[in-house]
Chains A and B, each alone.
Chain A
């Protein structure tokens, strides 16, 4: 058909709006709203002994002050454990407002509502909260030592002990020609969307209904949570995600305390209330990710083939576990990557610390898993003196082994069965793209300039598009406009473009006629949310199925009018016609009009559908049995299991041996997400992911001191990379369609971030000859490694004279 847009690099339709200030973000809503501000805990662990609001009473414009005592019914109970799991034996969640104890700096204690945010902040400043400080637990090792407990009744600080194994790892290790054991660390970072969280709520007392705008990744579930917590009927609550300035995972968590408290205040005060998170609040009051300690033992033969892998990791989950153990599970199951591991055992202990909660951040445990697996490959290659690409190649799952069952259980409770892929293909493309054999030449050239050059690579497999389901609704109006909606939300991924491409292609209409709405419970009340690289796979397929339903109905109606067989009809450029018979056509918009038999001709188009305009058969009802008025269809896509995308990254770094500045001079990506809806958008996702990967490897970390104070809670001190720090990325694509869904697509949202830390650590190690076992790494830390007498030299360094000595 002429409007085949699927697979085309269509420019993002939403960008004109978003980059010219016409976006409508949370803080653009509710100019007349009262403003909320929060008194947050300055202590990482303490008992609240008193809250004195006297000083705030004199602040002109103060409206209300809420503490835990004002919370009633379900609001007075702990926040939900969103994703319970049998191995999460000691889950804990906080309260919307602290109930006598605080477990991290930034935990909300008092909510103040005033005529504007400035006044609310002034009043909040004058509220005196007295605390009795308690011992503080910071960092995964402190949690492990358990000298102090975050939650009194959990003395070992262990929330969960996630355990999976595919065979007798002890025996397999004992029988292995060679084994290696090592420990490594990866630090905390965070999503850092440019727009923080935010909530606006308006209560209509006349019909007792609540409308909430929230900068969220899961409007339907926020709606359900608000209804449950505020004891409202679901149909009396609507939640809308307006334009959202980035999510990256932090906004999938819900209900945030503010998402419940702001609506509560709006109802109690009978006045709209708004809260927009400021940057410091986001640092100390939202969520982080990534910190793990990993103890790895690997068995392998003299050719570098892995015989057994035993991983014991400790995962810092922060003060509470609202999102269950999703991140530990993802680390445990995605760690194996593209490799065939004969026997695998993994234990991840999820431990409490007096720090901000840990929930999925783009990659969601995969970067840690990739770091563990890929660094293991590097060590095997180093010991055997083999090329790092060769060792990987020898362990790869082969293209003819799909579907490949790892005998593990994924984060969606489904088996980890890779649906399709070509990993040797990825590796071959990567070696060509980065000129892997040419690295030694570049190393020598750099050395002649007094620079240390090194290269590293990392491969990954990413489970994407987990269920349970998403839905789509497509409707053709009499005007010819095509309305598309899905409940899943958008945070800048370009859904208005890619979903429109899918509908335009399936329905045979110009993309200009297609209007896409996401994340609005008024338009589509059933959805799960935007996470785990699932939007294109889940909503994309649901929308495609809905469009196919519309097409079928359109052809059926047109067939009657054209007196033809539906199978002989086609739709192109919004016109239904008989294949190969010019002239015998009817516009799709007319079909839409006819699909809704009318009595009243409210406009010219409507006339054609009125009862005296059509010579319908007298023995058939105007709306056929089992049919419905209107040219629309609603459908759902529910996958049997996740579909597994894959990729391979290579980084080349150049290090200045005087300043130990680390410069990523080349970055190559080979990416496979099955069929691609819009290659331009996929590449954009990859670029953004790589930026966050480089950030996590070299710049971003959460600098907590021993007292649990976050010392870099601002963009002055938290080093988010500029374009100047993000390398140019060269990308090559490979397409192994997924057999699991109608469009054959796989997720692409998180891919770019996953291998960054592993590849760059490998490159730095290759350049310096010193073992890099903790990431991220700064020039200062690298300097310390270089001058430390205890720093471990790599075998490669020994074999290479001069370099890194």
Chain B
């Protein structure tokens, strides 16, 4: 399953870099992130609890980086499994200054979703994944544009985050907040989303679905973190 998108972040590549590589920031910007742990060189583990609409679940993921061309691009390999499903994503991430003090981040993911969850339909999985990425980038942009955590939904700029294919989803996902957790909660981890109570009998095949997309989003974030550690 292919998943491409980009986001315009309001800061120079350097500013973006410094914000996006702060574990504390990541912990509160990665949708549903509960814990984030370094397990070895270029390797991280994390637990997330994520959810959009009817799709919710808790999930353990691992991320590894290769082909780092700091500060322009690298390839992130994310994988993980929840009891009912599993996912693997290879994501190419690139950064580029777009001239007026902002940075355009582009990601191109090739994800494989397995387990019962794979049965719910491509467009549904990619739809969730794009929304997750959109929420993540909106959150990052929120970090960039205010020293303290401010819900991106409050920011006029927020809707300009996660442009192209993810613009509408991001804006809608964050502002609407009907089934998904309210916008502020999105930044403080996915527990809210997870606790929002998916149908018990359906929960099983919903877990992994999110992971397909969510891995992509974390991968983007973790990539920066790992990239920085190497440099530092």
Contacts and interface: CB of A to CB of B under 8 A. Distances in A.
Interface of A: 51, 53-67, 69-70, 114-115, 265, 267-271
A670 to B, nearest CB: 57
Given A57-B131, A59-B54, A269 B116 contact: yes
B83 interface: no
B120 A64 contact: yes
B32 to A, nearest CB: 15
B76 interface: no
Interface stretch (B13-21, B106-114, B175-183, B223-231): B175-183
A53 B124 CA distance: 7
B127 A115 contact: no
A62 B123 contact: no
A88 to B, nearest CB: 34
B43 interface: no
Nearest to B196: A60
Contacts of B53: 56-60, 62
Nearest to A127: B123
B178 A70 contact: no
A69 B55 CA distance: 21
Given A57-B54, A62-B53, A268-B120, 16 more contacts: A51-B123, A53-B123, A54-B168, A57-B53, A57-B124, A58-B53, A58-B180, A60-B53, A61-B54, A62-B124, A63-B205, A64-B119, A67-B122, A70-B122, A268-B118, A268-B119
Interface string B194-205: 000001011001
B131 to A, nearest CB: 7
Contacts of A55: 172
Main secondary structure of the interface of A (DSSP, over half): mixed
Nearest to A270: B116
B99 interface: no
Given A63-B54, A115-B202, A58 B176 contact: yes
B29 to A, nearest CB: 21
B127 A54 contact: yes
Given A54-B168, A58-B180, A59-B54, A69 B199 contact: no
30 contacts: A51-B123, A53-B127, A54-B130, A54-B131, A54-B168, A54-B172, A57-B52, A57-B53, A57-B55, A58-B180, A59-B54, A60-B54, A61-B202, A62-B53, A62-B54, A63-B54, A63-B120, A64-B121, A64-B124, A65-B123, A67-B121, A69-B123, A114-B54, A267-B119, A268-B118, A268-B119, A269-B116, A269-B119, A269-B205, A270-B205
A126 B122 CA distance: 17
A59 B120 contact: no
Contacts of A54: 127, 130-131, 168-169, 172
B133 interface: no
| Closest A-B pairs by Cβ, 8 of them | A268-B119, A64-B120, A57-B53, A58-B179, A65-B124, A62-B54, A65-B121, A58-B53
A267 B202 CA distance: 15
Interface string B88-127: 0000000000000000000000000000101111111001
Given A63-B202, A269-B205, A270-B205, A57 B122 contact: no
Contacts of B168: 54
B128 interface: yes
A62 B179 CA distance: 11
Contacts of A64: 119-121, 124
Given A58-B176, A270-B116, A67 B123 contact: yes
Contacts of A56: 53, 127
A475 B62 CA distance: 63
A267 B205 CA distance: 13
Nearest to B172: A54
Nearest to A110: B123
Nearest to B168: A54
A64 B202 CA distance: 11
Contacts of B55: 57
A106 to B, nearest CB: 21
Nearest to B134: A54
Task: Identify the interface centre among B119, B176, B199: most chain A CB within 10 Å of its CB.
Answer: B119
Interface in B163-179: 168-169, 172, 176, 178-179
A491 to B, nearest CB: 33
B119 A58 contact: no
B127 to A, nearest CB: 5
A115 B168 CA distance: 27
Contacts of A271: 201
B197 to A, nearest CB: 9
Nearest to B201: A271
A252 to B, nearest CB: 31
Contacts of B128: 57
Task: Identify the interface centre among B54, B131, B178, B205: most chain A CB within 10 Å of its CB.
Answer: B54
Nearest to A51: B123
Task: Identify the interface centre among B55, B120, B168, B176: most chain A CB within 10 Å of its CB.
Answer: B120
Task: Identify the interface centre among A54, A59, A60: most chain B CB within 10 Å of its CB.
Answer: A54
A405 B201 CA distance: 65
Task: Identify the interface centre among B116, B172, B202: most chain A CB within 10 Å of its CB.
Answer: B202
Nearest to B198: A60
Given A54-B127, A57-B128, A270-B116, A115 B199 contact: yes
B170 to A, nearest CB: 10
A652 to B, nearest CB: 59
Contacts of B120: 63-65, 268-269
A61 B199 CA distance: 7
A271 B130 CA distance: 27
Contacts of B178: 58
Nearest to B209: A64
Contacts of A267: 119
B87 to A, nearest CB: 16
Contacts of B118: 268
Contacts of A58: 52-53, 176, 178-180
A271 B117 CA distance: 12
Contacts of A65: 120-121, 123-124, 127
B119 A270 contact: yes
A84 to B, nearest CB: 33
A115 B128 CA distance: 19
A58 B180 CA distance: 7
A270 to B, nearest CB: 6
Contacts of B124: 53, 57, 62, 64-65
A271 B199 CA distance: 14
A70 B54 contact: no
A63 B176 CA distance: 20
Contacts of B176: 58
Nearest to A59: B53
A96 to B, nearest CB: 13
B179 A59 contact: yes
